Structure 1
């Protein structure tokens, strides 16, 4: 819709409208970011919770494996004692030697497994330390998140109050808009937000840097409504 070339629109009113619209956009942006900020904190807590659960599962798995090795060790020790008892009742040298070889093999296997058990116990100690660290991290992330949520909730309450005030100020300012420009003003704002308003900066449109003609600048000084020929923003003098 073309502007009425005779429509006068004070620059100070356009400047105020632009400022108010910018404040509305900023405050609404803060409200939109708040849930994302809370979700980000929730994700950090969830990651710390998962890390703790994994650390505990690792301890459990390592403990089960170590217990199995200890049971194997005990079972082999019992078998060695049983084989030693059979030495006294061996019916022949061949049987005796076979028993001795089996005892030696089991003792060697137990020696290796004893070392493995010691390593497993050391590993369990390390994993338990990881669990404690993960617990501390989860506690820290949880406390930080709770503090962040409280701060966001308090800030959101303030922002809502500020937004209510700015909307009231905007409503008052919009009542001063010339009747011939109101419908186009509303259409442009709904389609482009506060980008449909732009200041003049060093003879150019502050929105797209389009150089303005002398005639346009003169009309602006005379308080006529001027549209940028490039981006169609409503211009005002700072």
Structure 2
């Protein structure tokens, strides 16, 4: 096998390894993103529980305040009614009766408000229970998700280490005159620094390749794309055996 042919074969192998590594890294990186999203969902449910509890607390305090007001007003009505027996004149008696009537009417309005407040509290209690249930469900989902991520990480990490080790060994097979330039382009472009020929175009940027370039590729050499700078190689199923 000639050095030129070896170089093209190596690029096919290297590109496949780079793609595998990027795929494995992407699968690994999903785990932390999923966990972060799960944590955010749990935090949102916790906030919903806190907000619901605070609304319920305020509603109960408001209802208690209204009930206290009603109790005070009812006592005032009783006190005013007691004064009827000691009224010194019809005018005072009538004034006391009017005050009692007005207070009773105000108490009826306040009683209606208390009933509405208690109904609102019942609704808030129901909503609070719902958000608590949502929180429990989210926490369970997050625990299960975390376990799945840990299991997936435990499976993928050895594969990634194996492929990275294989990449290191294959890179050592590059001819010295190619190695430095290869390292530079991989550092700059990653796996996109290598590209298979796609028909008669660069597989990276789809720039049309000249017949002379295609001849080089059919000779199993690699060429540099003038448009994107990627190292182009001929796919395995199109190379010519010599």
* Residue in structure 2 matched with residue 111 of structure 1 by the alignment: 108
1:25 aligns with 2:22: yes
Tell whether 2:177 aligns with 1:180.
yes
Gaps of 5+ in 1: 1-5
Alignment RMSD (CA, Å):
1.4
Say which is worse superposed, 84-93 or 154-163, in terms of deviation: 154-163
* C-alpha deviation, 1:7, in angstroms: 5.3
Quick one: distance in 2 between partners of 1:203 and 1:9?
22
* Paired position in structure 1 for 2:51: 54
In the TM superposition, what are the counterparts of 1:76-225 in structure 2 within 5 Å?
76-225=73-222
State how far apart, in whole Å, the 2-side matches of 1:114 and 1:157 are.
64
Name the SS for the 2:221 alignment partner: coil
TM (norm. structure 1) is 0.94
Q: Unpaired runs of 5+ in structure 2? A: 236-242
Distance in 1, matches of 2:9 and 2:232, equals 11
TM-score, scaled to structure 2 = 0.92
Residue 40 of structure 2 is matched in structure 1 by 43
207, 210, 226: which one pairs with 1:229?
226
| Equivalent residues, number | 233
Q: Tell me the alpha carbon deviations over residues 42-66 of structure 1, each in whole angstroms, 9 at most, x when there is no partner.
A: 1111111111111111111111011
- In 2, the alpha carbon distance for the partners of 1:10 and 1:190 equals 19
